[in-house]
């Protein structure tokens, strides 16, 4: 967390200059500038005074909730799993903090996802390209391009590509489990 940048954004949101904030906290404008540029760290008492002057409590300030709405290619984390013949793209950074975790799974010929053991949650997937087998416990479902699946995660499950071409699946679990 970039405390200085977050304080600066709150100051702008409150339409305050550095001098205005400094006056409200009985601090110098230079110190406020150093804090906002991460060149100085305020004591806890001073930080509480600054937060109070900005009209926010510590709990809300330190809440790591991600306010980002749109994610692009620069946000994606990619992992190649040569052993399973997969490429996994985590589409939302730090999704473990969220209620849902979406990935884009690309399986090469004879590729398969890891085996997921039962957990208290739900699973959704959509086949973007190719075909896949969804193994759920003792049952297997064949999925083709344009089809989706949705199920409780109360049994072992995994995806498999038995085709001679690549398969791409948008896959999400709730709670995060990848």
The CATH code of the domain that includes 20 is: 1.10.260.40
- What torsion do the CA atoms of 142, 144, 148, 151 make, to the nearest 10 degrees? 10
pLDDT tens-digit map of 10-58: 888 888 999 999 999 999 999 999 999 999 999 999 999 999 999 888 8
* Helices of type H across the chain: 3-13, 18-25, 29-36, 44-54, 58-62
Say if residue 29 is in the same domain as residue 78: no
Q: What is the pTM of this model?
A: 0.63
Last residue of a domain, which of 43, 62, 81?
A: 62
Say if residue 116 is in the same domain as residue 161: yes
- The whole-number pLDDT of residue 103 equals 93
- Number of compact structural domains in the chain: 2
Assigned domain for 91 exists: yes
Say if residue 93 is in the same domain as residue 150: yes
Assigned domain for 121 exists: yes
Q: Please tell me the distance from the alpha carbon of residue 103 to that of residue 172, in angstroms, as a whole number.
A: 6
- Which residues constitute the domain of residue 7? 3-62
Report the sign of the C-alpha dihedral through residues 109, 144, 171, 116, in that order: negative
pLDDT tens-digit map of 143-160: 999 999 999 999 999 999
- Which CATH number characterizes residue 131's domain? 2.60.120.10
Say if residue 131 is in the same domain as residue 164: yes
pLDDT > 90 in the chain, percent: 63
Say if residue 93 is in the same domain as residue 142: yes
Say if residue 46 is in the same domain as residue 107: no
């Amino acid at each position: 967390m970039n405390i200085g940048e977050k304080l600066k954004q709150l100051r702008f949101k409150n339409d305050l200059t550095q001098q205005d904030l400094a006056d409200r906290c009985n601090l110098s404008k230079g110190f406020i500038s150093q804090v906002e540029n991460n060149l100085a760290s305020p004591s806890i008492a001073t930080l509480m005074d600054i937060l109070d002057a900005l009209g926010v409590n510590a709990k809300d300030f330190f809440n790591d909730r991600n306010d980002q709405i749109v994610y692009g290619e620069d946000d994606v984390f990619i992992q190649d799993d040569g052993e399973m013949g997969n490429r996994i793209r985590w589409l939302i950074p730090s999704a473990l903090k969220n209620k849902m975790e979406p990935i884009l799974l690309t399986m090469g010929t004879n590729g398969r996802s890891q085996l997921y053991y039962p957990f208290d949650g739900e699973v959704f997937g959509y086949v973007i390209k190719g075909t896949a087998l969804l193994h759920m416990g003792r049952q297997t479902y064949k999925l083709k391009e344009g089809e989706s699946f949705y199920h409780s995660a109360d049994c072992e499950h995994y995806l498999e590509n038995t085709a001679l071409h690549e398969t791409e699946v948008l896959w999400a679990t709730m709670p995060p489990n990848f």
